[in-house]
Amino acid sequence: MIPPPAFLFLAVLLFGLGVLAFFVKKDLLTQFMAVEIMLNAGNLAFLSLAKAFGRAEGQALVLFVITVAAAEAVVGLAIIVVVFRQRRSLRTDELKDLKG
Amino acid sequence: MAWAVFIVLSVLCVGAVAAMIVSRNQAHNALFLVLAFASLGGLFGLLDAPFAAAVQVLVYAGAIMVLFLFAIMMFNLRRPAPREKKTLRAALAAGLGTVLFVELVLAARKALAGSVPTGAPGGIEGLGRLLFTDYLYAFEITSLLILAALVGALALAGKKEDA
């Protein structure tokens, strides 16, 4: 029987790694993957708290998070495809047309 | 036994994410992410959430990552990303990540303070009952959200190249 705090610690660690990956990488697609890691860390935290408190609400929320993440991935990838068609590049340091 | 499974799965998961940070190949990154999500599915199973585990493997490691791989194939970047320079940015990112990590650990400790260790959080029946009673509106709105995402993705990326 593993105590839920161990899972919660892992979730926090994954979230930190996701933030690190998001800021270290300069490629739009990999940064998008880093966002998915953070969403998954959130899911793990929800489930470990559901376990710690013995309630099913956390599990229901995880299903919603996964659905929203799927919708977000679809729209995000569509936007990335459009950006790539126009610029032929996914490097975030080359996409600076909005710079004032 | 459970501890062994937990340790193997968490090392796999964290290792895959760390490998993703180090690797510069997008396709490898996506495959590392599949590994991370699959091992997270196993961890969900350890947390008495079999349905979330199944959905995690099917939707995340299956559908979403296949979508990513299709996108990578479409971009067809011949050259791998150039080596990231060890800039101030990376140092700042590491600092921010560490601060956030410490902060979240403190918050998590506080969140767990009031927890009462009870039994399992209920099986799939409880989850289904909850989804179709308390969370009925959210559940129905989710289907609208998926439809909107579908239409939005088609409107954004479904155009012809020369349009």
ipTM summary value: 0.90
Closest residue, chain B, to A2 (C-alpha): B3
Q: How many whole angstroms separate alpha carbon A71 and alpha carbon B142? A: 9
Show residues of chain B in contact with A12, CB under 8 Å.
101, 104-105, 108
Q: How many whole angstroms separate alpha carbon A33 and alpha carbon B37? A: 11
What global pTM score does this model have?
0.88
- Put simply, the answer to whether B111 touches A49 (Cβ < 8 Å) is yes
Interface check for B94 against chain A (CB to CB < 8 A): the answer is: yes
- pLDDT for A35 beyond 90: yes
- Put simply, the answer to whether B52 touches A6 (Cβ < 8 Å) is no
Sign for the pseudo-dihedral over CA of B35, A16, B19, A28: positive
Interface check for A56 against chain B (CB to CB < 8 A): the answer is: yes
pLDDT tens for chain B, 163 residues: list them: 888 999 999 999 999 999 998 888 888 999 999 999 999 999 999 988 889 999 999 998 888 988 888 888 887 766 666 666 667 878 888 888 888 888 888 888 887 777 666 666 667 888 888 889 989 999 999 999 999 999 999 998 877 655 4
As a CATH number, domain A4-87 is: 1.10.287.3510
pLDDT tens-digit profile of A39-97? Answer: 999 999 999 988 888 888 888 999 999 999 999 999 999 988 888 888 877 787 777 77
Interface check for B12 against chain A (CB to CB < 8 A): the answer is: no
Show residues of chain A in contact with B154, CB under 8 Å.
78
Interface check for A68 against chain B (CB to CB < 8 A): the answer is: yes
Angle at B120 between CA B119 and CA B125, to 5 degrees: 130
Interface check for B99 against chain A (CB to CB < 8 A): the answer is: no
As a residue count, chain A comes to 100
Interface check for B59 against chain A (CB to CB < 8 A): the answer is: yes
Sign for the pseudo-dihedral over CA of B132, B135, B136, B141: negative
| Domain residue limits, chain B | 1-78, 126-158
- Outline where chain A has alpha helix (H): 4-24, 28-53, 57-87
Instruction: Give residue B163's pLDDT.
Output: 47
Answer CATH for B1-78 from 3.20.20.20, 1.10.1740.10, 2.40.50.100, 1.20.120.1200: 1.20.120.1200
Paired tokens of B1: 């036994």
Q: Are A16 and B82 in contact (CB under 8 A)?
A: no
DSSP conformational letter for B80:
P
Instruction: Give residue B136's pLDDT.
Output: 92
Virtual torsion, Cα A44, A46, A48, A52, nearest 10 deg: 180
> How many CA atoms lie within 13 Å of B51's alpha carbon, on the beta-carbon side?
18
Paired tokens of A54: 């013995």
CA distance A60 to chain B (A): 6
